[in-house]
Amino acid sequence: MGRLLLAVALIFLSGRAAAAPIALQFWHSMSGEKGELLASVVDRFNAAPENAGKVRVELQFIGTYEEGLNKLRTALLAGRGPHLVQITDIGTQAMADSGAIVPLQDYIDRDPSFPIREILLPIRRYYEIGGRLYSLPFASSGPILYYNADAFAAAAIKSAPRTFAQLRDDARRLTDPARRLTGVTWPLHSWFFEELIARQGALLADHENGRADRATSVDLVSPAARAAVALWAGMVQDGSFANVGRGWDPAEQNFLSGRSAMLLTSTSDVFEIQKKASFRVRTAPLPGDGSNVPGGTIVGGNSLWILKDKPADERAAAYRFLKFMASKESQRAWHVGTGYFPIRADVIANLEKEGFYARNPAAKTAIDQLRAAADVPAARGALLGTFAQTREYIESALELILAGYQTPDAAMAWAQSRADDALSRYNRAVAAESSQAASGSKGP
Amino acid sequence: MRSSRALAWALVLPALLPLALFVALPALQSLWLSLHETAPFSSRAVWVGLENYRLLAASPEYWLCARATALFAVETALPSILLALAVALALDEGPYGRDFFRTAFLLPVSISSAMAAMLWLFLYNPTAGYLNYALGRVGIVGPNWLGDPRWALPAVAIATVWKEMGFNVIFLLAGLSGVPRELHEAAALDGAGYLSRLRHVTLPILSPTLLFVAVVSTINSLQSFGQIYILTDGGPAGRTDTLVFNLYRDAFVNFRSGYASAQAVVLFVLILGATALQFRLARKSVHYG
């Protein structure tokens, strides 16, 4: 019996000594073609000579961003989290507060070869907290205007609208109730409300959008917020906006079927929309209020996080994988394959040289818009620990407003009071948790 | 005597143990958690007493959820029982096609609720949906079913009734086959028409089955989740935000475990109460032959 145990122990030890490859669990939310593309990028990492037999990244699809965050939380409470996880943009503050992650900056500080200077500033800024980059921006996108060039020609409209006023005018001219055609549509999603505010250079939350210090309150009745709602609700009222409700697909279908001549949506769908449309599709930057207040669109998308609860060598391997994801080759493959922008300036410059954007002008719009964004808190977007909940309140308020049930001010004041209540509860809980953790921790 | 009791326990234990472990224990944990507050990613719970319950009672949104839930229960349970009764009576009387229709009505029950909801999502789609296309062909401009605060709850209810009704049909058909022919014949000899036979013979004998489907339909409607998650996500403007859905959001999106647990306890008490009420009402009118 004793001999048997010894033999088992020896086998086990020798297995360790021969350095079994480190298996990195990478949880992600990319389904369909995007998931396949991600898998091919990961395969390239696994097959690289310096990794083969030593490190292996194992992809695990964990559902939507919402489901993913939830599974991560459950797994962490059970002490069985992954090494790497892909988290939606608005989960940034909650992840930073979770106590479960290592900021990417900790590794970048020790690695001069990390291409931090190549990462486009607006993208970097979004994922920074207090000047430190917490996660690797991965799939990044922004809102742009898509329009049906055939419908524009038929209505004798020469160029895409640049301002809210022009958008309203053009939408009205493109509307034809008899043929059930509307001028414009976009999904009922808080993202558009937030983007229209940022485009006007205004803040969504206090303390410089939560960038100078932890946000304690949101402002949903600022002049910029009112202007955004007035634009949206005004067009619904005069019949030039097709309100097709929540979800990303219905608005896109409305545009693709020719029912709406213009569409606001993410750049990440640019290749898909062009492929599916039976008319000429053109793109233009998100319209603004026409003033000169510095602002811009906020980067949306997701980023990759390193989790803390693993041995140091495995975390270091996870960092090496993120560096690979930030490489020119990975970024190029991802951008060209999906329509999300690359996070690197040199990838864009190279593609420009090769004439990629001359062939795909629609893909260029978002990049130009991103470069045009001012480096101000408004365009960096808000950091809120309760962003998902805040969006739910904003969307409920928008639905009440667009249906004509409540005035914009009443509905948004309600949403603001609920969002602020949730935020202060969250902030209190996190503060209590971190003071507890600080008094209870034993060394680093 | 003692050994027979031991035997009884031994026989019950294999069923009792998993129930205790996977149902009773988590339920007790919910009760405990409902008296605490936690940070989103923390396992440390801070005692807050009845604070979560006080917050619930003071939240106007939660009362709106209760209202949506009650409306949804009425809009699904009532039509699914009445329609199922009509279908069951027709199939019971009808000379042929009984097996075919019984299967046809049961089909929606057998598919998963997620898949059923996806089907209805396509049907209700405001641009490409068949429903508004069909309405358009007869000159009616269909509403934005899932996006209009007036229509969203009825739209989800229609999808739910379609999905659940077949279950009631099966039970009512079984109940109807237990109505003795002789009673009908005797009543007919006494000059009773179809309606009075239905009223005085069929329904009294069917009443235990009707009570059963009423209880099950009500409980099902109170627990509805999948179709709401897929069709409306609780919107528009909270019109389909039922107690269960709100609980889900607070627990798994907003990460407020304590507050969500308090809602689970409230829901448990409500379902218990609704069931007890139905049995009490039934005692007066149900006839157990």
List residues bridging with A341 in a β-sheet: A140
DSSP alpha helix (H) spans, chain B:
2-19, 25-33, 51-58, 60-93, 98-110, 113-124, 130-137, 152-176, 181-189, 194-197, 203-223, 226-231, 243-248, 257-285
Q: Could B144 and A389 be called an inter-chain contact, meaning their C-beta atoms sit closer than 8 Å?
A: no
Residues A216 and A292 in one domain: yes
Say if residue A414 is in the same domain as residue A330: no
pLDDT of the residue at A17: 44
Number of H helices, E strands in chain A: 21, 12
Which residue has tokens 């640019």?
A: A270
CB–CB contacts below 8 A, A to B: 100
Q: Is residue A11 part of a domain?
A: no
Domains and CATH numbers, chain B: 54-285 (1.10.3720.10)
> Any bridge partners for residue A285, and if so which?
A144
Indicate the residue among A363, A397, A414 that finishes a domain.
A363
Domain termination site, one of A363, A397, A418: A363
Is the Cα dihedral B20, B21, B22, B24 positive or negative? Answer: positive
| Cα torsion A415, A417, A423, A426: sign | negative
> Given this model, what pLDDT does residue A442 score?
39
> For position B139, what pLDDT does the model report?
85
Task: Assign 3-class secondary structure to B79-97.
Answer: HHHHHHHHHHHHHHHCCCC
- Name the residue range of residue A399's domain: 143-299+382-431
**Residue with token string 């409470």:** A77
pLDDT of residue A4: 55
Give the B window 195-224 contacts with A, CB below 8 Å: none
Structure confidence at residue A66 as a pLDDT band (50, 70, 90): confident
pLDDT for res B289? 54
Question: Which has the higher per-residue pLDDT, A415 or B41?
Answer: A415
Indicate whether B20 pLDDT > 60: yes
Contact between A403 and B254 using a beta-carbon 8 Å cutoff: no
Helical axes A164-174 vs A223-237, angle rounded to 10°: 10
Which residue type does A67 have? E
Could you say which residues from 292 to 311 on chain A have a Cβ atom under 8 Å away from some Cβ of chain B? none
CATH number at residue A223: 3.40.190.10
Cis-peptide, bond into residue A250, ω within 30° of zero? no
> A215 and A66 share a domain?
no
pLDDT value at position B288?
65
C-alpha distances out from residue A92 to A31, A162, A198, Å: 21, 31, 18
Dump pLDDT digits (tens) for B83-135: 999 999 988 877 777 788 888 888 999 999 899 999 999 899 877 788 988 99
Q: pLDDT for B76-85, tens place per residue?
A: 999 999 999 9
Of A81, A87, A86, which Cα lies nearest the Cα of A100?
A81
Whether residue B137 lies within 8 A of chain A, CB to CB, comes out as: no
Substitution target in A390, A433, A434, A435 with the highest count of B β-carbons within 10 Å is A433
**Tens-digit pLDDT profile for residues A243-295:** 988 888 889 999 999 999 999 999 888 888 999 999 999 999 999 998 888 88
Check if A403 contacts B (Cβ < 8 Å).
yes
CA atoms of A361 and B59, how far apart (whole Å): 51
Q: Is B114 on the interface with A (CB under 8 A)?
A: no
Of A248-262, B35-49, B64-78, B229-243, the range with the lowest mean pLDDT is B35-49
CB of A322 closer than 8 Å to CB of A136: yes
Which residues on chain B are in Cβ contact (under 8 Å) with A429? Answer: 37-40
**Between chains, do B237 and A388 touch, taking CB under 8 Å as contact?**
no
Asked if A418's CB is within 8 angstroms of B61's CB, the reply is: yes
Is B127 near chain A, with CB under 8 Å?
yes
Residues in A closer than 8 angstroms to B256, CB to CB, are 425
Read off the pLDDT of each residue in B276-289 and give the average, rounded to a whole number.
74
| Domain shared by A290 and A425, yes or no | yes
B-chain residue closest to A187, CA distance: B147
Q: Which pLDDT does position B17 carry in this prediction?
A: 92
Same domain, A192 and A70: no
> What is the pLDDT averaged over residues B236-264?
92
Q: Which chain A residues are within 8 Å of B252, Cβ to Cβ?
A: 66, 70
B60 in contact with A, Cβ within 8 Å: no
Residue by residue, DSSP assigns A91-127 as GHHHHHHTS-EE-HHHHHTT-TTS-GGGB-HHHHHHT
Question: Quick check: A432 and B253 CB within 8 A?
Answer: no
Which of A395, A401, A412 is most worth mutating to test chain B (most B CB atoms within 10 A of its CB)? A395
Within a domain: residue A312?
yes
Same domain for A54 and A166: no
A439 within a domain of the structure (yes/no):
no
Chain A residues with CB-CB distance to B124 below 8 A: none
Per the CB < 8 Å rule, is A97 touching B249? Answer: no
- Give the span between the Cα atoms of A295 and A122, in whole angstroms: 11
Please tell me whether residues A204 and A190 are part of one structural domain: yes
Determine which of A162-166, A320-324, B41-45, B143-147 has the lowest per-residue pLDDT on average.
B41-45
CA nearest neighbour of B258 among A428, A80, A99: A428
* Per-residue pLDDT reduced to its tens digit, B137-146: 898 888 889 9
B126 to A250: CB separation less than 8 angstroms, yes or no? yes
A397 and A411 in contact (C-beta within 8 Å)? yes
Are residues A267 and A172 located together in one domain of the fold? yes
A73 and A156 share one domain: no
Asked if A206 and A340 sit in the same domain, the reply is: no
CA distance A245 to chain B (A): 5
Tell me the pLDDT of chain A averaged across its residues. 90
Q: Is A443 contained in some domain?
A: no
**pLDDT for residue A82:** 96
By the CB < 8 Å criterion, does A378 face chain B?
Answer: no
Q: Is B230 on the interface with A (CB under 8 A)?
A: no
Is residue A402 scored above 60 in pLDDT?
A: yes
A8: in domain: no
Residues in chain A with CB shorter than 8 Å from the CB of B39 are 97, 429-430, 432-433
Chain A residue numbers with beta carbons less than 8 Å from the beta carbon of B140 are none
Q: Compute the distance between CA of residue B164 and CA of residue A229 in angstroms, rounded to an integer.
A: 40
Q: How confident is the model at residue A439 (pLDDT cuts 50, 70, 90)?
A: low
Q: Measured between CB atoms, which of A389, A396, A426 is closest to B237?
A: A396
Q: Count of domains in chain A?
A: 2
pLDDT value of position A179:
86
Is the Cβ pair A433, B42 closer than 8 Å? yes
Task: Examine residue A128 and state whether it is found in any structural domain, yes or no.
Answer: yes
Q: What is the per-residue pLDDT across A321-351, written as a single tens digit (0 to 9) for each? A: 999 999 999 999 999 888 888 999 999 999 9
CB contact (8 A) between residue A403 and residue B149: yes
Last residue of a domain, one of A309, A334, A363: A363
User: Which pTM value belongs to this model?
Assistant: 0.88
pLDDT tens-digit map of A342-389: 999 999 999 999 999 998 888 889 889 988 889 999 999 999 999 999
Measured in Å, how far apart are chain B's first and last C-alpha atoms?
Answer: 35
Mean pLDDT of A168-191: 94
The answer to whether the beta carbons of residues A142 and A370 sit under 8 Å apart is yes
Candidates A179, A389, A434, partner chain B, best to mutate (most B CBs within 10 A): A389
Chain B closest-CA separation from residue A28 CA (Å): 17
Q: What is the pLDDT of residue A15?
A: 47
Per the prediction, chain B carries an average pLDDT of 89
CB contact under 8 A, B127 and A188: no
Contact residues on chain B for A188, CB-CB shorter than 8 A? 147, 235-236
Distance CA B213, CA B167 (A): 9
pLDDT band at A434 (very low <50, low <70, confident <90, very high): confident
Partner residue facing B235 (CB), from A94, A99, A396: A396
Give the ipTM of the model, two decimals please. Answer: 0.81
Nearest to B41 among A73, A188, A395 (CB): A73
DSSP state of A245: -
Name every chain A residue with its beta carbon within 8 A of the beta carbon of B237. Answer: 396-397, 399-400, 403, 405
Q: Mutation target for A interface from B36, B37, B38, B42: give the one with most A CBs within 10 A.
A: B42
Q: Please give the pLDDT value at position B44.
A: 78
A64 inside 8 A of chain B by CB: no
Let me know if residue A284 belongs to a domain: yes
Per-residue pLDDT at A7:
55
State how far the Cα of A204 lies from the Cα of A210, in Å rounded to an integer.
9
Give B147-195 pLDDT, tens digit per residue: 888 999 999 999 999 999 999 999 999 999 888 888 888 888 888 888 8
Q: Taking CB atoms and an 8 Å cutoff, what residues of chain A touch B146?
A: 245-246
Token couple for A239? 């019949």
Q: How far is A94 from chain B (nearest CA, A)?
A: 8
A111 and A214 fall within a common domain = no
Do both A250 and A307 map to the same domain?
Answer: no
Other Cβ atoms closer than 10 A to B21: 10
Distance CA A386, CA A202 (A): 20
**For residue A160, what pLDDT is reported?**
95
Rounded to a whole number of angstroms, the distance from the CA of A269 to the nearest CA of chain B is 19
Looking at the domain assignment, is residue A224 inside a domain?
yes
A3-31 pLDDT, tens digit per residue, is 555 555 545 554 444 467 899 999 999 98
